[in-house]
């Protein structure tokens, strides 16, 4: 008897089945390994990218339902397998064809944010700089490369892990269309992180180069404090177009930051300037500026190292609270706020360095 169930027909319905993670047809992604038809019984073999894929059950069900829509099908057998190296390569090739922008090749400016020591607000500046560039209409990525103390995840209330599409392809997280990669959601909270040298380099390499950053105007990299290996890894794996150093007004922080400035210089990285964070506190009663941590730390540093002061950010309770609760400060505060304007101006100053004609 003439069998109306053909392989072509099965493939046609399978074309409508999407890989739940990638959001593209499983046929297009070469995930359909085989289709066998025996009278009214259809067997389909699907190859998954990773063994024990958590979405395997969903996919299996979607395949079954799709094939069952073909008139005359009495039984659908779905076999789930795992891709071999060649299949995986083809899969990655397909994804890359759609997103030709894995890695940092399509990033116009990579800006590293460093500091002499921890606790000066380096991550705060990195995050709000990224948000300020978003406000200025730029395409932005934020890479939290502070592998020992990643704080961006908490500051943005991120809980999901970035999606590994395949072994060397990662879909970053997204906040307000800003691409974000952080170790914060993959490391356990409150656990000390121990990285052996080569492991740290490998992790930075993966997060920097396997990530589908897409086309970016600015990729902001939040480096660990001090003068460590991570900065060297980043500068070896991608070009750092400029470094921003964050300091507090105290002399001691300024001296620490001089070492960091010299590290960047020795790597041939241009110093864009210094940001003085927690520069002062404006009292809401007397409206005076109070220089709690001293005065002119950034200016002293600027004179000593011949680097510009990009801006001074005051101590601001709403900024601290926003970060504590995981709200993006730049999108949750009045435009009259002094910290807001200072941060936006720092982004503008950097923008002027890179694109002086605007
Ligand atoms: P670092 O990255 O240098 O270790 P963080 O950015 O994590 O420092 O900041 C340390 C703490 O100080 C955080 O709780 C942050 O919210 C707070 N903080 C940073 N800058 C400011 C500021 N200008 N006003 C108020 N709080 C700030």
Scan for tokens 């943005």, then name that residue: 156
How many Å apart are CA 318 and CA 53, to the nearest integer? 42
Q: Compute the distance between CA of residue 54 and CA of residue 20 in angstroms, rounded to an integer.
A: 10
Ligand 1 contact via 111 beta carbon (within 6 Å) = no
Does residue 94 contact residue 86 with C-beta atoms inside 8 Å? no
Report the separation in Å between the CA atom of 121 and the middle of ligand 1, taken as the mean of its atom positions. 4
Residues 6+ apart with CB under 8 A from 244: 111, 112, 113, 114, 125, 129, 272, 273, 274, 275, 310, 346, 350
- Measured from the CB, is residue 316 less than 6 Å from ligand 1? yes
Whole-number Å distance, alpha carbon 124 to ligand 1 midpoint, is: 5
Strands 242-247 and 271-277, how do they pair?
parallel
- Probe target for ligand 1 pocket from 129, 323, 326, with the most ligand atoms within 8 Å of CB: 323
* Separation of alpha carbons 110 and 270, rounded Å: 11
Each residue's pLDDT tens digit in the chain (358 positions)? 556 789 999 999 999 999 877 778 999 888 999 999 998 999 999 998 876 667 788 899 999 999 999 999 999 999 999 888 888 888 877 777 766 577 888 899 999 999 998 999 999 999 999 999 999 999 999 999 988 888 999 999 998 888 887 777 888 999 988 999 998 887 766 666 667 777 888 889 989 999 989 899 999 999 999 888 899 889 888 989 999 999 999 877 677 899 999 999 999 999 999 999 999 989 888 888 888 888 888 888 898 999 999 999 999 999 999 999 999 999 999 999 999 999 999 999 999 999 887 5
Rg (CA), the chain: 25
Name residue, tokens 């939040």: 222
Residue having the nearest C-alpha atom to atom 15 of ligand 1: 320
**What three-state secondary structure class fits 78?**
strand
DSSP alpha helix (H) spans, 39-78: 56-68
């Amino acid at each position: 008897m003439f069998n109306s169930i053909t392989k072509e027909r099965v493939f046609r319905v399978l074309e409508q089945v999407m890989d739940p993670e990638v959001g593209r047809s499983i046929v297009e992604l070469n995930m359909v390994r085989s289709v066998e038809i025996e009278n009214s019984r259809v067997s389909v073999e699907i190859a998954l990218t990773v063994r024990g894929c958590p979405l395997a059950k969903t996919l299996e069900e979607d395949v079954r339902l799709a094939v069952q829509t073909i008139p005359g099908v009495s039984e659908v057998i779905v076999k789930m397998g795992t891709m071999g190296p060649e299949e995986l390569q083809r899969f990655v090739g397909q994804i890359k064809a759609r997103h030709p922008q894995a890695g940092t090749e399509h990033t116009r400016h990579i800006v590293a944010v460093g500091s002499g020591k921890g606790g000066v607000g380096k991550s705060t500046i990195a995050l709000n700089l990224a948000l300020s560039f978003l406000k200025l209409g730029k395409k932005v990525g934020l890479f939290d490369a502070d592998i020992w103390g990643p704080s961006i995840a908490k500051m943005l209330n991120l809980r999901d892990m970035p999606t590994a599409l395949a072994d060397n392809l990662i879909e970053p997280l997204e906040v307000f269309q800003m691409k974000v990669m952080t170790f914060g959601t993959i490391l356990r909270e409150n656990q000390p992180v121990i990285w052996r040298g080569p492991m740290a380099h490998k992790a930075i390499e993966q997060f920097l180069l396997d990530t589908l950053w897409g086309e970016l105007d600015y990729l902001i990299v939040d480096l660990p404090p001090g003068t460590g290996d991570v900065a060297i890894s980043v500068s070896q794996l991608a070009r750092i177009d400029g470094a921003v150093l964050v300091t507090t007004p105290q002399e001691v922080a300024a001296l620490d930051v001089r070492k960091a400035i010299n590290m960047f210089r020795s790597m041939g990285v241009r110093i864009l300037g210094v940001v003085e964070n927690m520069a002062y506190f404006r009292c809401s009663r007397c409206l005076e500026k109070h220089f709690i941590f001293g005065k002119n730390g950034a200016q002293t540093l600027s004179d000593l190292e011949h680097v510009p002061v990009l801006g001074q950010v005051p101590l601001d309770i709403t900024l601290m609270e926003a970060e504590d609760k995981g709200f993006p400060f730049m999108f949750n505060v009045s435009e009259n706020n002094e910290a807001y304007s200072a941060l936006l101006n720092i982004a503008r100053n950097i923008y002027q360095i890179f694109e002086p004609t605007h």
